A = this chain, B = another copy of it.
């Protein structure tokens, strides 16, 4: 691996982006970014700590969290005691699907709001009806899109 510095800078960029977009901890983003461009694609905790200048504790906590939400895999090599981490295949579709869950929650919140109004059908409820209809629409359509992509992918 020649351009380690460039790849590190890339990991950092990914981290900043994820932090802003989804509230993902900076260090978790760095790990994700590095695992996207490192060679080989599997890295152990010590390697991650060294290249990212992070403490063992931080790596441990963040890898566990990334495992928990399903973004990475933990694998072991026969005869070795160390754990190796890698980007999980299918991560991105799952991640999007998970983010799309929020849409359903917002549709439900709109419902709860309408229940508070004296006249949900009237002009007073227009705000929440618009919110409800939009989110209901996407709650219906987004899973179909993901499905469509998974089918296209298989071919």
Interface residues of A (CB under 8 A from B): 2-3, 6-7, 10, 13-14, 17, 20-21, 23, 35-37, 39, 41, 87, 89-93, 96, 102, 105-106, 109, 112-113, 116-118, 124, 127-128, 130-131, 133-135, 137-138, 141-142, 145, 148-149, 152-153
How many copies are assembled? 2
* Chain A contact residues: helix, strand, loop or mixed: helix
Given A3-B116, A37-B116 in contact, is the A141-B145 Cβ separation under 8 Å? yes
Asked if A109 and B7 make an inter-chain contact with CB atoms under 8 angstroms apart, the answer reads no
A155 to B35, CA, bound (A): 48
Q: Give the chain B neighbours of A153 by CB distance below 8 A.
A: 133
Given contacts A92-B134, A109-B13, A145-B138, contact A124 B3 (CB under 8 A): no
| Assembled-state Cα–Cα distance A46/B116 (Å) | 23
Output the nearest chain B residue to A141 by Cβ-Cβ distance.
Answer: B145
Q: Are B116 and A137 in contact (CB under 8 A)?
A: no
Q: Which of chain B's residues have a CB closer than 8 A to the CB of A20?
A: 23
What residues of chain B lie closer than 8 Å to A134, measured between beta carbons? 92-93, 96, 149
A41 in contact with B135 (CB, 8 Å): no
New A-B contacts (6) at CB < 8 Å, excluding given A41-B124, A92-B130, A92-B134: A10-B116, A39-B117, A90-B130, A92-B131, A96-B138, A141-B145
**Complex Cα spacing A137 to B138, Å:** 17
